[in-house]
Chains A and B, each alone.
Chain A
């Protein structure tokens, strides 16, 4: 799918990318304690004795976090491991109170799966690619260190310590920054459909560790570096670009790539070596003796499966089958809120094709103007369905519908009410229209003559005059037919 190549002085290089995405699991309480997970609380207020690793404290897992990981696994059609267990990853750092992170190395809860990406979602003929997912495991987040509040001290806030994360590990299947971007967007979309992660990258709900290596096309994988905790799609793409060309420069200068952990600097768009974590590579993983193996029964798995919503790919296929254009289907399924809104609109009886056009142009345009997202749209799907129904049955013309919609946005009133109160109904009353046509032809006898003499273009002029005379409420189809007859 991608022929992305870095042109080096000595020839072409191919980039190999794998992503480890840390996605915060949507849950009220932490993975192993009852402290809250809400963002932005006072330092160390959402910390239990368990999260602070006080002596004698023990972890007990939160069912919801396990459930969300399983549902996520099912959404990417991955193997769900009915027997998994938690391991300890041992290292010392001030944001890690236990001196180990409870994670899953040996027996993750979710095994092999895949995500299909397209570089152009709006084009059904665009080539797609399957990106393999090696595993998803559940683990604890660390706390936060603040370095800029004191000249000689760092401050530790453990509010995030123990929040549940899913680590979603891809295969090194991506070959360009664009593919990595498409993968991240698709993954985020799926997580948000499933409801297992809010995908809020600014608040750190999704971060990616970016593994990059370069090689000559067709040759074995090169040595990779891991750039940690990159927190936007754009930054991930930048980090890949920078890191790949840095590696090419090193290799072409006769050097070799060291397997290391790097840090992305968003200001410069570059990566740099992260010395502070260099010696920490012997993590001494072993099964956490405070926790028994996690065994999932059929009833639990059934519930997880039954509670999965329709996912983006399936939804898009359904929309296409309804005759919706690929462009509209792509736009409507990219974000779960838009898709939910659109489904509600269809549910309320709107005709799919007309509705998809109206949502992607009128509604999105209006929301854009108002600076609102669809979840807080001033017009509800039921109200929109009513408006579209008035268009479909000929009560409103396109331009009348626009007028009514504007009033709906301002007042929150229903379309039918607006039409009634303001008399905005379109008319197909042939008598009234014929009378106006006669009057217009009389007033423009010269143009009638010109038209009859062959100036066909003047037809539009007459339509405009008649519509204007009718206050915009005449049915344009009827006006056309009657004008054609009258002009001969």
Chain B
């Protein structure tokens, strides 16, 4: 039998249920891996007791002859954007230093109710703002992957869910939560050779998740394969009356309905996603993906999403605008960091606290957001961006007349080295060029590993589906996964 930590979510659950091993053994194995992986800096807080308690509950349930919960005995990692009762939650920022929520986010509570346990809180880009995990106040997350050229350049695990992607790729946990505002599940999944799905906006409750951009934020699972993602998403999703944007829809049995047979399905290839200066390896992988989906029985059609080019600039108005307001609550009054210079008045205290607590990228985005909402600029920026967003959503609507899903690369490149793009914000923002449009339209989208580039680094393919059609997205992704046969994993160096 292979190491327990090589098992995915379904395999662990089934093994525990069958009595092949105990949930405690599984938890202990992962806890040890987490403890031994400090150089990756993927975990901000380790919570072995939480994982062990859930494992013991699963073992006890099995011993008592009970029907096991869907994730019984599965230890997972929790992105530090989710508030967890009694466990420090920082969103990767100093401004939440010392903050211990007295409440549990709906999504994490759902996972615990499904029997999962928590190995710890995962590092991330500060307030989920970043594509490389270089904006965390608690240090970069280092990708477990390395280039095959012998260079030891530390690579970006993607962002903002980079702790999650690194941890899953390094087998520190079989699955982890992520959140996706403009690609923060899919891009890190692609960079680290794992799978991740951002469901339809409103599927997963935002209650208890530290907000970045409310109209875009969606939680989703990151795991080793499509089935594991489906299993985890079933537990995470669901209507929550505490979130006014939560969709009042029942959660379908996605896992049970998985099928990679795409006969009768049409796959759209959006013309506008062939961007300039895209590496030919990405292009080649995209073509490969087309062939795989054809092989699965799908018909390929070319479609046009004419406003694609404007998605990124619209996103970089809407997301910072919402963030500038969402982050106003971090003021040093009720929780988190406070800087109170001698003789400072209230407003001085705010300014000093926020100057000390927020990192550079967060400040940059708050400033952009403040600017675009400020008197005289609101219509030209925010209103125009909101209109362009309508057009982008309409592009997708029109495409659905011709196809069922869209296939695109997940990111325009493989993982880059840490520091490579951090000097140029716009170059960094361009990383999300393929993921942002579906975020703006609230559509479900998934990244699965397609292969390796010449450097031996993973590349991802993305499936975008219609609103609420997570099943279709999972199925098409499964078809890709089966044909890609991606088994590469990073060699342990940490």
Contact = CB atoms under 8 A, between A and B. Distances in A.
B89 A55 contact: yes
A55 B333 contact: no
A59 interface: yes
The interface centre, meaning the residue of A52, A55, A92, A282 with most chain B CB atoms within 10 A of its CB, is A55
Q: Which one of B91, B346, B370 has the greatest number of beta carbons of chain A within 10 Å?
A: B346
Interface string A407-432: 00000000000000000000000000
A100 B208 CA distance: 19
A97 B333 CA distance: 8
Given A98-B328, A289-B214, A289-B215, A52 B334 contact: yes
B209 A59 contact: no
Given A55-B83, A56-B208, A284-B373, A90 B328 contact: yes
Contacts of A99: 325, 327-329, 331
B322 interface: yes
A22 interface: no
A97 B334 CA distance: 8
Contacts of B83: 54-56
Contacts of B208: 56-57
A129 to B, nearest CB: 35
Nearest to A86: B244
Contact of A56 (B105, B321, B331, B378): B105
A289 B91 contact: no
B347 A290 contact: no
A57 B334 contact: no
A315 to B, nearest CB: 39
Nearest to B354: A92
B207 to A, nearest CB: 5
Nearest to A96: B328
Nearest to A59: B244
Interface in B190-226: 206-211, 213-215
Contacts of B105: 56
B271 interface: no
B292 interface: no
B99 A289 contact: no
B241 interface: yes
B331 A55 contact: no
B325 A100 contact: yes
A156 B375 contact: no
A292 B325 contact: no
Nearest to A50: B242
Nearest to B241: A60
Contact of B333 (A49, A59, A156, A291): A156
B95 to A, nearest CB: 10
B378 A55 contact: no
25 contacts: A49-B103, A53-B334, A54-B101, A54-B334, A55-B210, A55-B335, A56-B82, A58-B242, A58-B243, A60-B243, A61-B244, A90-B325, A92-B328, A92-B331, A92-B347, A97-B329, A98-B329, A284-B324, A286-B378, A286-B382, A289-B213, A289-B214, A289-B215, A289-B322, A290-B245
Interface of B: 82-83, 89, 91, 96, 99, 101-103, 105, 206-211, 213-215, 241-245, 321-322, 324-325, 327-329, 331, 333-335, 346-347, 350, 370, 373-375, 378, 382
Given A90-B325, A286-B373, 7 more contacts: A98-B328, A99-B325, A99-B331, A100-B325, A100-B328, A282-B374, A286-B378
